[in-house]
Amino acid sequence: MQPSIGDSFGAFLAKVPAHVPSAILARVAAACVEINDLVQAGALADVIGSAQTDNVQGEVQQKLDILSNDAILNTCRGEPSLGGLCSEEHETFYVGAPGGKYLLLFDPLDGSSNIDVNVSIGTIFSILERPCPASALTTADFLQPGTAQVAAGYVIYGPQTILVLSVGDGVHMFTLDVRAKSFVCTRRNVKIVPDTQEFAINMSNMRHWDAPVRRYVDECLLGSAGIRQKDFNMRWIASMVTEVHRLLTRGGVFMYPWDARHPEKPGRLRLLYEANPMSFLIEAAGGRSINGYNRMLEIRPTALHERVSVMLGAKNEIERLSAYHATAAKPNPLARM
């Protein structure tokens, strides 16, 4: 079931099939309205700056990280259909309602290092079915491949606040009406064009990349003078929500690859809270997502905070990157995944 332009988010949820966790999605949307209020208040509400604490990743938490995490927990935890929650900011999972059928995984505030410079930031979320709702909740319940997601999306807080969602039948965008505190459908069935002349990557790390990524970027930089026979533009914002929103809006490729500084680590982005939900959206819009060697959504997680290399976006460009990795002379550790 797809929304009509002008439908409220609530009206859309009233029309979705029974297997879609509409009550949880409604609560996530409500929590994100609260987070938007905090973001907009900014320094006036003393919510900008470091909280002087570290999260489970060893990263310094911003005040808004903690407040956003609390907003989602407080709004969603009481939902009877929600059996458990897992946050990027917390070491282990939170137990939800006994017998709850679904699991919610989320990054409460992606891109929070950009808060002080007023770059768009966002909330990313993913919903899974619980393997056995009658049993005690365990870590293993959350360790499902991305193909098991029943819904995924994000909310981007910027000049407009927009909720982007897929329940498996396309990608739809709902813009926040700040006066009514309600999301309204403004784009439906979003598609990513298969070709592009724009890519996003942190070029300062180029010397550390694996050979297939260097090859791809070198060819893009040569532009019309090289084998690609067209010129490319490069973008980099360092906020995954913002990067992916640009892809869904005007196409492109986003890459955050493995690099040799930490060869034992497969990447920097979190599989469960960032890579899987974003890959679900990208594929629903006709794009592709890989870790280099494998389809992202088919990777089976081994830990709650597992990290991965990410390359996603325009179908033909990601297939080119995949082919370059498949023929690499010296595959990196990702080839074993």
* pLDDT tens track for 5-14: 999 999 999 9
SS3 content of the chain, % helix, strand, coil (to 5): 35, 25, 40
Angle at which helices 240-250 and 276-284 pack, to 10 degrees?
A: 0
Give per-residue burial for 46-69: e unless 16+ CB within 10 Å, then b: ebbeeeeeebeeeeebbbbbbbbb
Which pLDDT score is estimated for 62?
Answer: 86
Strand-pair partners of 154: 124, 164
pLDDT tens track for 97-119: 999 999 999 999 998 888 888 99
Spatial distance between the Cα atoms of 214 and 203, rounded to a whole number of angstroms: 10
Which pLDDT score is estimated for 155?
Answer: 99
Backbone angles phi and psi of 311, in degrees to 5: -140, 115
**Tally of CA atoms within 13 A in the half-sphere of 44 that contains its CB:** 5
Which pLDDT score is estimated for 55?
Answer: 72
201 close to 217: Cβ distance less than 8 angstroms: yes
Please give the structure tokens belonging to residue 46: 């003393």
Please give the structure tokens belonging to residue 332: 């990196």
Which pLDDT score is estimated for 336?
Answer: 45
| Ranges of residues in the chain whose predicted pLDDT is under 70 | 54, 56-58, 330-337
Which pLDDT score is estimated for 310?
Answer: 98
Which pLDDT score is estimated for 38?
Answer: 95
Tell me the domains of the chain and their CATH numbers. Answer: 7-189 (3.30.540.10), 198-336 (3.40.190.80)
